[in-house]
Structure 1
Amino acid sequence: MKLSELLEQPQFSRIKIANKHPNLDVNVITIGMMEAPDIANFVVPGQLLVTTGFHFKNNLAALDKLVRIMSGKKAAAIGIKHHRYFDEIPQQILDTADKFKFTILLLPEDIGLSVIVRDLLHTVLEQQTDQLTNVMQQSLSLSKFILTGRSDNEILTKISGLIDCNVLLINSYGRLIAKSLNSMIDTRLFHYTSNKLDIININEPLTLWNRYLLYPLKSTSNLTKRFLIFELSSIDDSEQRLLIENIINLLSLENMKVQINLSDSRMRENEIFTTILNQNMSKNVIASNLKLNGINTTNNYQAFAVDELISSKAYNHTTVMHQLSNLIYWYYGKFETKIIITYQDFKTFVLVPATPNLKTELAKLQTFLLKNSTSTDIRIGFTSYEHKLINVKKLFSEAGEALFLAKHDDKHEPNEFRPKHVSDLLQLLPPKETNIFVNYVLEPIFKIKNTEEREQLLDVAEQYFLENRSISKAAQSLFIHRNTAVYRLKKVEKLLSINFKNPRETEQLQLAIRLYMLNKTNM
């Protein structure tokens, strides 16, 4: 209840205002009565303090100090019994009150302090009870509205009607994700929240430009936190404050549901790739598994691996790596880049859409991780080679080897994988010449219109050579019957007019198939 509203009540008509420039818009939250010299230590915000003035009759300095302290603590006012120990409030005290726009009241001399306190407290509590009932009803209405499955925009429009102001919702990048109906988009605001504000470290309400109130929603992680913005310069009264607090609590529950769903999605993704890495699957099975889980198998990816050396042998290493993973998710999310993270051998492996500037990007990422985590020694190994996700084992193998060398050779900057095997060297051949050679050798197979049949023939030929010309092992690797493998190999011989027993012919075929498998994403 505002002080002006309280004083307008008929039963308080005899309470007078002593100073010329009081603040009557202050909220009265509680009533206190004191007859002790150390009362300043117990003043609370919103308190209307009443006193006879006994302890100040010969100590105006103490009264002056109390007025200053009460103003600083945002107390509501002080009421002094008129004609008890003060016939008039000294001018120096009134001047101090006016300076801080603090209110001094003169209480009727013929009414006991206990009666005045009783009546004031009854009036304040009665209004607070009405406010609480109103807030509970509004909160219940909003809760039911949310449970009907409304969109963020609809929920904010409902809140806007309750608070009577525009309401906005931003994410942990400071970007607008929802707004109440008819809210205007202030580009200056979102430029500030997304570029200037250290938003991932905000945990308390914030006032922006005396126009917006920003509230962080409760969250298990600052990196997935969302923020509610009210277009208000200040909160008018305790009812509005309580309603806003309830709204924050309700939306925080919704925010945590969003976080749980996001965490579950990431865990499922990690489990999918952990299974692929730990089991002997053919590329066809890997592709089917990925497609079944809605993961794109046609785009090219690169990979990098991350480890933190300080905690690598400590009990909290897993916790540290999860913290780094969350920061990596946030960092790439800022650029709207969808990445995939999995954990292998207590290290973090990341699949990122192919980019020509991976080393430069990883240097920036490393700086970000060092700045925003407790880690002081973060090593990164990466591969610049591009592969589809069916070759995820190769991507992670190369990134893992680069990370090992970064740690072994004490390289603090991101370390790039260097080719050591024949397949790595073959990838360095000019693409044009590679395509000409591969098409020359495999053209009859490429002419097969059925894509599945064409890939089956190439896969069985590849496995045949990889398994040292063992048909049984090739069939086992592809999860097919041995007779099926024999049939497909004979068909390859027939189409290409070669004999697998002729070393010269098979050498050319083996090289062509190797080059095709390494470069087919670009063919």
Structure 2
Amino acid sequence: MKVYELFEIPKLAGMSLIAGKSGKDHEVQTVNMMDAPDIVHFLKPNVFLVTTAYHFKDDPKKLADLIRTMSDKGCAALGIKTKRFLQEVPKDALNLADQLAFPVIELPLDLALGEVVDLTLRAIVDKTAQELTIALEAHKRFTHVIMQGNGIRPLLHELSKMIRHPSECIDQHLNVIARNPGAGAVFSALETVLPVHFPAETLSSPLMFSAAAERQTYTLFPMHMNEKKIGFLAVHGELDKTDHLSALIIEQAMNVISFALMKEQAIKQHARSIRNDFFLHFLEGAFSSREEMIHRAAEFSLRNDQSYICVAGKIDGSCGHADLRQQEEIYEFIEDEVAKTEPKAHFFTKGDYCILLYEVQEYGSFSIEDLLRYIQEKVSAYFGHTISFGISNLSHSFLQVRNAYKEAADALKSGEISKKTGYIQTYLTKDVMALLRLIPRQDLENFYAFALQNFYHMKSDERESLLATLSVYLETNCQISETAKRLYVHRNTVVYRIEKCEELLGKSLKDPDTNLQLRIALRIRNMLEPIG
């Protein structure tokens, strides 16, 4: 309770505030009685200290020292029973109290200190009990709103009415999840105040800041969204740190919102799993008929008479088991981002790949590269990773998406072979890979085996090392330095491996026919390997 509320207690009506009136909003959490001069060493913040001033009767000037010490410790107020041992409070002490905005209260002579302590403690307990009762009722009210199935927004509306401030719920990337109708866009101000890599998980207490441009104060309350993510409940306006009732109501709201978000996340993950299972079965040709595929696709809003462009994406670098959680987090982030953009995109995952299936009316009516570059920038900013994409040609129906995925994966892998990162590779119909697909598989295998036959008498590790070096060397137009740079090896190592390749082949790699034969053989090798 506040200092000024002490005067509202009926049996304490005889008290009067004689100094430090501007500190009447100080918070009183407990009350103590001065029974020894050294009590100042044991005082706690927000305490209301009452005394008969017995210890100052011979040296009233020491009262000023007590007031200064209590102010420094963050105490709430000092109550003095005058006309007992001290006829009046010294003026210098009163002036100091006014300067420090520290309340000094004159206690009535007929009221024992024990009664003051008892009455104050009862008032504090009663007020706390009342606040807890209101908070419990607020929790029931919030729960009822959520149980009605209308989402988080109605709950924020109820919360805003209770605390008299607009509010909104935002995720760890400062994106709005739900907003009260009276709330502005808090995240636009947040982006100018908080760093991009703001460690939300390290924020354990509310954060208050002001945006000068908007002349608005915001308070962020960290809130668990699921077992891995922490978001925020953003309240617009300055909240009094001593307003425990509002703090309790906000805490109840966050508890209910957290459970609601966890439930939504579980439902979303279940739906994602079902959607991925369908798409993987579709790519593997697991359906018995064309009609079954079309019918099942329609269940996921995938119309067969719709045109699509398929995009395959992969985080650059190998993802070990320790990185799988972050990979999942990045792909969830991408899924949320593409849901906010046009045209509509269906999101799937397959192993290390994320798959974006864009609905389009006409190829070229939008820049898919711009959309993907936007995603790359966001992933780099929030996660410090690069991601690459391969883009297919236009599919005129959903049933053609299976080939479109292969095109997107081929485009992605062609950039990966060249050791690129953060690239966007478009599949070209007239590319060598497209032409090679016109040749029977057996003929391709024969050509590949003949061109690289001398490499298969070696141990597998050495063979793979030489072929990887040979592939990059040919892709870089026989540039030793660039090959060494992409492979992260010394220039002399590349020279040695290339000489070893020429020795095995019995030909110079700078011979045009040999060069072309090997480039085609290595493309065939890549095409015959299963795509991840």
The TM-score by the shorter chain falls in which range?
0.5 to 0.7
1:363 maps to: 373
CA distance in 1, matches of 2:83, 2:138: 47
From 278, 287, 294, give the equivalent of 2:301: 294
Secondary structure in 2 matching 1:250: helix
Which 10-residue stretch deviates more, 28-37 or 320-329? 28-37
Amino acid at match of 1:408: I
Task: Assess if the C-alpha contact under 8 Å between 1:64 and 1:93 holds in 2.
Answer: no
> 2:398 is matched by which residue type in structure 1?
L
Report the equivalent of 2:254. Answer: 248
Q: Secondary structure at the match of 2:420?
A: coil
Distance across 2 between alignment mates of 1:254 and 1:303: 33
Residue by residue, what CA displacement relative to the aligned partner does 1:443-479 show, whole Å, maximum 9, x if unpaired?
xxxxxxxxxxxxxxxxxxx9xx9999xxxxxxxxxxx
Decide whether the 8 Å contact of 1:174 with 1:193 is kept in 2.
no
- Equivalence for 1:105: 105
**C-alpha distance 252-337 of structure 1, shift in aligned 2 (>3 A):** farther
RMSD over aligned CA atoms reads 4.3
The verdict on how the C-alpha distance between 1:65 and 1:2 changes in structure 2, with shifts beyond 3 A counting, is closer
Counterpart for residue 117 of structure 1: 117
Gaps of 5+ in 2: 443-532
User: How far off is 1:417 after superposition?
Assistant: 3.7
- For residues 213-224 of structure 1, the aligned pairs below 5 Å read 215=221, 218-220=224-226
CA distance in structure 2 between the aligned counterparts of 1:410 and 1:114, rounded to whole angstroms: 81
- Percentage of pairs with the same residue: 18
What is the match of residue 324 of structure 1?
330
Alpha-carbon distance, 1:319 to partner? 0.8
8 Å CA contact 2:233, 2:254 repeated in 1: no
Cα distance change on mapping 1:467 and 1:424 into 2, 3 Å:
closer
- Tell me which residue corresponds to 2:28: 28
Matched residue of 2:332: which SS? Answer: helix
Q: How does 1:249-268 map to 2 (within 5 A)?
A: 249-268=255-274
TM-score by length of 2: 0.63
Normalising by structure 1, what TM-score? 0.64
* 1:325, distance to aligned residue in structure 2 (A): 0.5
Matched-pair contact (CA < 8 Å) for 1:167–1:230: yes
User: In structure 2, what is the equivalent of residue 278 of structure 1?
Assistant: 284
Q: Deviations over 1:100-146 (max 9, x none)?
A: 53323344577654443222101211232233224323433443354
> Matched residue of 1:123: which SS?
helix
Q: Where does 1:70-469 land on structure 2 (aligned, <5 Å)?
A: 70=74, 76-80=76-80, 82=82, 94-107=94-107, 113-150=113-150, 154-156=154-156, 158-159=158-159, 162-163=162-163, 165=164, 167-169=166-168, 172=171, 177=178, 179=180, 185=182, 189=185, 192=188, 204=206, 206=208, 209=215, 215=221, 218-220=224-226, 225=231, 227=233, 229=235, 234=240, 237-281=243-287, 284-297=291-304, 298-309=306-317, 312=318, 314-335=320-341, 338-354=344-360, 356-373=366-383, 375-376=384-385, 378-387=386-395, 388-419=397-428
Question: Deviations along 1:189-235, whole A, 9 cap, x unmatched?
Answer: 56846976769956645466456656565412898957464677657
Partners in 2 of 1:36 and 1:136 — Cα distance? 43
Alpha-carbon distance, 1:329 to partner: 2.0
Specify the code of the residue in structure 2 equivalent to 1:105: I
Distance 1:60 1:319 in 2: 61
Describe the superposition over 1:12-41 as per-residue Cα deviations: whole angstroms up to 9, x where unpaired: 234332315333234433334566858678
In structure 1, runs of 5+ residues without a counterpart are 427-461, 469-523
Contact 1:300 1:353 in 2 (8 A): yes
How far apart are the structure 2 equivalents of 1:161 and 1:12? 34
What SS does structure 2 have at the residue aligned with 1:302?
strand
Q: Determine the C-alpha separation between the residues in 1 that align with 2:98 and 2:339.
A: 53
Q: Aligned partners of 1:238, 1:357: CA distance in 2, in Å?
A: 52
- Contact map agreement 2:17 2:105 (CA 8 A) in 1: yes
Query: Using the alignment, how far apart are the partners of 1:191 and 1:245 within structure 2?
Result: 21
Counterparts of 1:283 and 1:146, CA distance in 2: 42
Q: How many residues align?
A: 416
How many angstroms does 1:90 deviate by? 5.4
Q: Kindly state the Cα deviation for residue 290 of structure 1 after the two structures are TM-superposed.
A: 0.8
Counterpart of 2:421, as a letter, is: H
Mean Cα deviation higher: 391-400 or 56-65: 56-65
- Between 1:397-406 and 1:220-229, the stretch displaced more is 220-229
Contact 1:139/1:246, CA 8 A, preserved across alignment: yes
Distance 1:4 1:276, change over 3 A: same
CA separation in 2, counterparts of 1:324 and 1:466?
A: 39
Cα shift at 1:313: 5.0
**In the superposition, relative to structure 1, how do residues 365 and 4 fare at CA in structure 2: closer, same or farther (>3 Å)?**
same
Is 1:7 paired with 2:7? yes
Give the aligned residue type for 2:299. Answer: L
AA at the equivalent of 1:331 = E
Maintained 8 Å contact 1:210/1:233: no
Cα distance change, pair 153–106 in 1 and its aligned pair in 2 (3 A): same
